[in-house]
Amino acid sequence: MAGRRQGRQSGRTAVLWLVLGALGAVLVGCGGSPAPDTATGEIQRLLDRRARAVLAQDASAYRATGDPAPAAGGDTFRNLRDVPLAAWTYRVTAVHRSGTRATADADLAYRIEGYDRAPVVTPRTLDLRERDGRWYVTGDRPAGKAGRQLWEQGPVGVARGAHSLVLGVGQDEAGLRGFARLADRAVPQVSAAWGEDWTRQVVVLVPKTLDDMAGLLGAPASGYRGIAAVTTGEAGGSARAPADRIILNPEAYGALGDFGKQVVLTHESTHVATRARTSAATPLWLSEGYADWVGYRDTGRTPAQAAPELEAAVVAGRVPAALPKDEDFGFGRDADALAQAYEGGWLACRMIAEQWGESELNAFYRAVGAHGKRAGAVETALRDVLDTTPEQFTERWQRYLRTELG
């Protein structure tokens, strides 16, 4: 997942990567022994009917799958009404039964029409009750530490742009259209820098609060305070990888000016574009620095304007001894140190673009990601693409910092 932290002048942000994908582990259910195969099959058929009702927007068929006593899950059904779904299925992985009660572990797979090349898969735990020989759903929640889904937080509003789909909860129609306009400007900016070998469209989620944003990520809100946005996706994704999601923090993002908001969305859209070329071999200074390079590429911002924390350090004689390490990008770090890590990565990419060329920067990024494993990836790409060594590159970067910021 990628994200951005609000900064002093330019809406600086921090990035977190979150890998989405099918989770195959079977989670522990409630007490009781595994249900007979007949119950498992009946529950699977029940969930098949429920899925068809969601896709067909058939309210009566959906209600028929819920417990007749408490209206189970009705709000979720209504909240999904405007979401353009192309697929919605459940796959039961385990059932635990105790008398007329049961819990089922299931993978929910859904796909948004026109955006997801493959389903997003998320683990769910469903509560069920048997009445008169039939099973009904009484509850449906994220399994384990999985995040909530946007439609579990309220009615989902939708805005479509030329290159974007914005889904929001607690946002008015004008606000959603505004997000779509920003995203529509970001996508061509990314393509102009990176090229067009990506989907050239983004899905943006806008929850109502910071707590809701954290809920989507299955993590404490304290870890995202001040983070303007994150991007979720599958690093090194194949053609079958589902679309990424850019998730905005309405509090931190909303505090930014127009310039900062655009830089954030362009930065996050860059992560969507580069995802298939990003792997475990890619250091964060490169992935985050490249995303910031694209974000600032045509803005006219100088290094001193866009890298105030690193400028202060360089002026004080504290030129970094090495390129930022992955741990320097942790959200729990001191805000100034975190900003310096992002600024250092950005200036390294900016230096490559200026002194070797933008095409070489792109080739370098791709070469590092193609290496597959971290050991030797940067060293090999520096040699093969830029005809330099890690030591020479670091020294050149340090001189560049002194020249641009000193």
pTM for the model? 0.87
Q: Beta strand 245-248 with 85-98: parallel, antiparallel or unpaired? A: unpaired
My answer on whether 244 and 288 are in the same domain is: no
Band of residue 254 on the pLDDT scale cut at 50, 70, 90: very high
What is the reported pLDDT for 222?
86
Report the number of distinct structural domains present in the chain: 3
Band of residue 4 on the pLDDT scale cut at 50, 70, 90: low
In a domain, 223, yes or no: yes
What is the reported pLDDT for 18?
33
Q: Are 156 and 204 in contact (CB under 8 A)?
A: no
What is the reported pLDDT for 118?
87
What is the reported pLDDT for 236?
62
My answer on whether 99 and 156 are in the same domain is: no
Helix (H, G, I), strand (E, B) or coil at 227: strand
What is the reported pLDDT for 240?
62
My answer on whether 128 and 159 are in the same domain is: no
In a domain, 27, yes or no: no
Assess whether pLDDT exceeds 50 at residue 246.
yes
Beta-bridge partners for 309: none
Number of helices and strands in the chain (H, E): 14, 11
Among 273, 264, 276, smallest CA distance to 194 is for 273
Last residue of a domain, one of 209, 241, 268: 268
| Span of 74-88, 251-265, 298-312 with lowest mean pLDDT | 74-88
- The CATH number of residue 243's host domain is 3.40.30
- The CATH number of residue 43's host domain is 3.10.450.50
Band of residue 69 on the pLDDT scale cut at 50, 70, 90: low
Helix (H, G, I), strand (E, B) or coil at 214: helix
My answer on whether 12 and 160 are in the same domain is: yes
| Span of 22-36, 88-102, 186-200 with lowest mean pLDDT | 22-36
What is the reported pLDDT for 20?
30
Last residue of a domain, one of 116, 145, 174: 145
Cα 397 to Cα 349: distance, rounded to the nearest angstrom? 10
What average pLDDT does this structure show over 50-76? Answer: 81
Helix (H, G, I), strand (E, B) or coil at 258: helix
Q: Are 288 and 15 in contact (CB under 8 A)?
A: yes
In a domain, 90, yes or no: yes
Neighbours of 248 (CB within 10 A): 28
Helix (H, G, I), strand (E, B) or coil at 230: strand
302-350 pLDDT, tens digit each: 999 999 999 999 999 999 999 999 999 987 668 889 999 999 999 999 9
My answer on whether 245 and 308 are in the same domain is: no
What average pLDDT does this structure show over 206-227? Answer: 92
Beta-bridge partners for 279: none
Beta-bridge partners for 259: none
Give residue 67's domain range: 37-145
Assess whether pLDDT exceeds 60 at residue 102.
yes
* Degrees, nearest 5: CA angle 37-38-44: 90
What are the DSSP E strand ranges found in 146-274?
Answer: 156-160, 164-169, 202-206, 227-232, 245-248
What average pLDDT does this structure show over 71-96? Answer: 87
Query: End-to-end CA distance of the chain, in Å?
Result: 33
What is the reported pLDDT for 241?
64
Q: Which amino acid is at 155?
A: P
Q: Are 248 and 179 in contact (CB under 8 A)?
A: yes
In a domain, 32, yes or no: no
What is the reported pLDDT for 372?
86
What average pLDDT does this structure show over 374-402? Answer: 98
| Span of 282-286, 326-330, 389-393 with lowest mean pLDDT | 326-330
Long-range contacts of 328-332 (CB under 8 A, 24+ apart): 328/284, 329/14, 329/15, 329/284, 329/288, 331/5, 331/14, 331/16, 331/223, 331/224, 331/227, 332/223
Cα 16 to Cα 179: distance, rounded to the nearest angstrom? 21
My answer on whether 78 and 176 are in the same domain is: no
* Degrees, nearest 5: CA angle 47-64-68: 115
